[in-house]
Amino acid sequence: MRVLVVGYGMAGSRVVAELRARAADVKVTALGAEPHRPYNRILLSNLLAGKVGEDDLAIAAAPAGADVRLGEPVVAVDRGRRVVRTAQEEHAYDALVLATGSAPVVPPLPGLDGPGVHAFRTLDDCRRIVASASRARRAVVLGGGLLGVEAARGLALRGLAVDIVHVGPHLMDRQLDGDGARVLARTLADLGVRAHVGATAREWTGGALRLADGAELPADVLVVACGVRPDTRLAAAAGLAVGRGVVVDDAMRTGDPRVYAIGDCAEHRGTVYGLVAPAWDQAATVADQLTGGGAAYRGSRVVTRLKASGVDLAAMGSPHAGAGAEVVSFADPARGTYARLVIEDNRVAGAVLLGDNPMVGAVVQLFDRNAEVPADRRSLLLGRAHGGEPAAAVESPALMPDSAVVCRCNTVRKAAITAAWRAGGRTVGDVVAATRATTGCGSCQDAVCGLVSWLSSVDPSTEVAA
């Protein structure tokens, strides 16, 4: 079978690796539009902040037997002949996987095609922003969603004074409620970022962003972070069904049984996830389907993480309570701490955890497993039950169940990390190589290091507690 993968980013490279791991007789060719080897796009904000180097973003090299062509964007798909065309040649396929990702949304404002303006989506974008920031004193970020907040934080850590402009009622309004957003805004202000919410941009003058109310925000650099939209151009031109993304079923198949779509470009059951963990689950589903399995993708329970210098945020589900829901919350704006749980049927339906919260791991696990919450809800907000001692034992590796998901991006459970240790992996690097833990958003790094440290302290010849 000839499998052709269009797009070689985080989703495309994962499906190639999954296919090669399952079946040596499958011929896999991947065509990547970018000239770079695949990199971890999630860590671009840390690269912008100067906290990591480009080498730290690299994803594992292409597996043996895969034919990977970089810098070869596909210009057309001919489903009748079962070929795709690049500017150089045609490639035939028996099965086609679209992993075309997404493209930044650039609003139609005067001046955005001028100097000093940068989108924030790719490695090349990040390089250009870093180069401009090295000669700048002030920056404006247009867009106050997750990507905009990450860009603003990164620029502030480079020493720039930053204004962030968001048309919504508060920062990260898709993930946060108003109270949580106000605590986030205060945390950002401590980093040198001023937030302007409910603000509409009108024009970039080349030295300032002019707002609808006439105010001007002077800047040397303007970063556009107004979100992304699925790149469905190839699919639409090929006659495939397109909604917000390329429409797929539970096998990640389009209306053409030979064509699949995964990652940012795919729309499954009306949802475009735009996150790495669902993309990698979808890649595994397609690889299983193409090698004779019957795997099905049923959707994902999404957790948004922002864990970096000065900002520690986890948001999951919806922060907005429906009729009959129970809401418990705690705020300490002076310490940059906020927690809000929405509980329905005694389970976490949504949560926002901002700042230093010792129970974030426990809340994520409850949400992931759709498990019942403790009778005393305050233990999940404060790390202790009423009148009791801190609940640090919940985070103890010895008490963590084998089924606990440590790395959400790769669905790596404690049992897999323990198995890697027992198989001879004695360092974090060994465990990462065996399980792929920490290679997504990186927010599980501390947990994986803690597990490896704990495993090294117990007698490897004895049974490890579950």
Range of the domain at 138: 117-226
Tokens in use for 15? 């499906």
Instruction: Compute the average pLDDT of residues 169-191.
Output: 94
User: What proportion of the chain, given as a percentage, has pLDDT over 70?
Assistant: 94
Please check whether residues 332 and 264 belong to one and the same domain.
no
Q: What was the pLDDT predicted at 461?
A: 43
Please check whether residues 60 and 198 belong to one and the same domain.
no
Mean pLDDT computed over every residue of the chain: 90
Please check whether residues 146 and 216 belong to one and the same domain.
yes
Residue partners of 270: CB distance under 8 A and separation at least 6: 243
Q: What was the pLDDT predicted at 334?
A: 87
Quickly list DSSP for 394-408.
GG-TTTS-TT-EEET
Please check whether residues 92 and 238 belong to one and the same domain.
yes
CATH at 10: 3.50.50.60
Q: Is the dihedral of CA 9, 11, 15, 17 positive or negative?
A: positive
CATH at 338: 3.30.390
pLDDT in tens, 359-394: 888 899 899 889 999 998 888 887 654 444 444 434
Please check whether residues 81 and 99 belong to one and the same domain.
yes
Residue 410: inside a domain = yes
Tokens in use for 179? 């109270």
Closest to 212 measured CA to CA, from 110, 358, 347: 110
- DSSP 3-state assignment of 132? helix
Q: What Rg value do the Cα atoms of the chain yield, rounded? A: 23
Report CA-CA distances (Å) from 10 to 101, 182, 218.
9, 33, 36
CATH at 408: 1.10.10.1100
- DSSP 3-state assignment of 77? strand
Please give the Cα distance from 7 to 385 (Å, whole number): 49
Please check whether residues 11 and 44 belong to one and the same domain.
yes
pLDDT in tens, 233-289: 999 999 999 999 999 999 999 999 999 999 999 999 999 999 999 999 999 999 999
| pLDDT above 50 (res 459) | no
Residue partners of 52: CB distance under 8 A and separation at least 6: 43, 46
Quick one: pLDDT band at residue 399, thresholds 50, 70, 90? low
How far is CA 111 from its chain centroid? 30
Tokens in use for 247? 């429409």
Please give the Cα distance from 404 to 361 (Å, whole number): 10
Residue 310: inside a domain = no
Q: What was the pLDDT predicted at 147?
A: 93
Quick one: pLDDT band at residue 167, thresholds 50, 70, 90? very high
Please give the Cα distance from 409 to 436 (Å, whole number): 9
Residue 110: inside a domain = no
Q: Is pTM beyond 0.75 here?
A: yes
pLDDT in tens, 311-327: 889 999 988 888 889 99
Please, what's the b/e burial string for 456-466 (b: 16 or more CB within 10 A of its CB; e: otherwise)? eeeeeeeebee
Residue 462: inside a domain = yes
Residue 296: inside a domain = no
Please give the Cα distance from 275 to 267 (Å, whole number): 12
Please check whether residues 215 and 134 belong to one and the same domain.
yes
Please check whether residues 360 and 405 belong to one and the same domain.
no
pLDDT in tens, 326-358: 999 999 988 889 999 999 999 999 999 999 888
Counting the structural domains of the chain, the total is: 4
**Residue 314 or 463, more confident:** 314
Quick one: pLDDT band at residue 398, thresholds 50, 70, 90? low
Q: What was the pLDDT predicted at 64?
A: 92
| pLDDT above 50 (res 466) | no
Please check whether residues 15 and 76 belong to one and the same domain.
yes
pLDDT in tens, 17-42: 999 999 889 999 999 999 999 999 99
Report CA-CA distances (Å) from 102 to 1, 10, 117, 122, 423.
28, 12, 19, 10, 39
Q: What was the pLDDT predicted at 396?
A: 61
Closest to 15 measured CA to CA, from 130, 131, 101, 134: 101
Instruction: Compute the average pLDDT of residues 101-128.
Output: 96
Q: Which of 393, 420, 451 is the last residue of a domain?
A: 393
Q: What was the pLDDT predicted at 383?
A: 65
Please check whether residues 420 and 336 belong to one and the same domain.
no
Please check whether residues 71 and 135 belong to one and the same domain.
no
DSSP tally for the chain: helices H, then strands E? 12, 27
Residue 86: inside a domain = yes
User: What proportion of the chain, given as a percentage, has pLDDT over 90?
Assistant: 70
Q: What was the pLDDT predicted at 430?
A: 85
Q: What was the pLDDT predicted at 387?
A: 45
Continuous segment of H or E residues that includes residue 27: strand 27-32
Please check whether residues 148 and 244 belong to one and the same domain.
no
Q: Which of 226, 243, 270 is the last residue of a domain?
A: 226
Q: What was the pLDDT predicted at 386?
A: 42
Residue 312: inside a domain = no
Quickly list DSSP for 297-337.
------EEEEEETTEEEEEEE-SS--TT-EEEEEEEGGGTE
Residue 109: inside a domain = no
> What phi, psi does 83 have (nearest 5°)?
-140, 155
Strand-pair category, 405-407 with 326-332: unpaired
